[in-house]
Homo-oligomer: A and B are copies of this chain.
């Protein structure tokens, strides 16, 4: 990994890992709920979405506390979606990031409710952002609700479940990934721009960048699922393939998927290069996601 990105990630990931539990810790709620929320929040992960939000923000300004809080909101959404996806009624996964899934530890009811509470808390965090205009808060909440809801992530999850019943073509697969993964990554990027007061023309470039990055992320995920090492991945390699699921390597061959990965990575870097802000960290992020090994 590039040195500049490495120091960006190490400094900012530490800050996210520190603030994220506080967004739940300080609330008054039943101990059982807090424990199950904190369990998943502290289960680790790459924190890609909050880091992207901070990276987009820092293309325009030095980091501030309200930005870390917004970054935690997007990670709460991501974490809730994992808890609900892992449930027996959905993917029925026992392990996530090498640890037992939430419902395996706390039971299904608590896992469902911990997810509901995180989703709700994310909107509260945005509405509570310090040093942020009401106008920016409303923009952020609009963007997040669209990215995370029926037209975005939740809709993508349903389309993905429906898609498992049939063979998808590339366009259908892409549409699912845009919603299931891309929209929330895209939100992270554009939220950084909104908070930094980026010019209107940059917001649409950031949106386009986020869309491409989402595909890079997903195609790489599919490739890793074929090639990856199950210990590094925290789940068995080939687990998607076992389920007869449509993936990029399956539709395009492994070589074709790799070519497509490079194409979207180039496209993302092109959009980053067109920003009025600095684009180094965003560009290096694309390469990091493109070349990651887990």
Say yes or no: A117 contacts B161, CB within 8 Å. no
Is A266 in the interface zone, CB < 8 Å from B?
A: no
Alpha-carbon gap, A247 to B146, bound state (A)? 40
A182 to chain B, nearest CB (A): 15
Say yes or no: B121 contacts A149, CB within 8 Å. yes
Alpha-carbon gap, A34 to B151, bound state (A)? 10
Residue of B nearest to A91 (CB): B109
Say yes or no: A149 contacts B117, CB within 8 Å. yes
Is A269 in the interface zone, CB < 8 Å from B?
A: no
Tell me which residues across on chain B come within 8 A of A134, comparing CB atoms.
133-135, 137-138
0/1 interface trace, chain A 144-179, chain B, CB 8 Å (1 if under) = 111011110011011101100000000000000000
0/1 interface trace, chain A 90-131, chain B, CB 8 Å (1 if under) = 100000000000000001111011011101110110111000
Is A27 in the interface zone, CB < 8 Å from B?
A: yes
Option from B34, B107, B150, B162 in Cβ contact (under 8 Å) with A121: B150
Some 16 contacts from A to B, beta carbons below 8 A apart, are A27-B151, A29-B158, A30-B155, A30-B162, A33-B150, A33-B158, A84-B112, A89-B112, A110-B158, A116-B154, A117-B149, A117-B150, A117-B154, A120-B148, A121-B149, A127-B142
10 tightest Cβ-Cβ pairs between the two chains A and B: A124-B145, A89-B108, A120-B149, A134-B134, A117-B150, A29-B150, A29-B155, A33-B158, A127-B141, A117-B154
Which residues of A are at the interface with B, using a C-beta cutoff of 8 A?
Answer: 24, 27-30, 32-34, 37, 80, 84, 87, 89-90, 107-110, 112-113, 115-117, 119-121, 123-124, 126-128, 133-135, 137-138, 141-142, 144-146, 148-151, 154-155, 157-159, 161-162
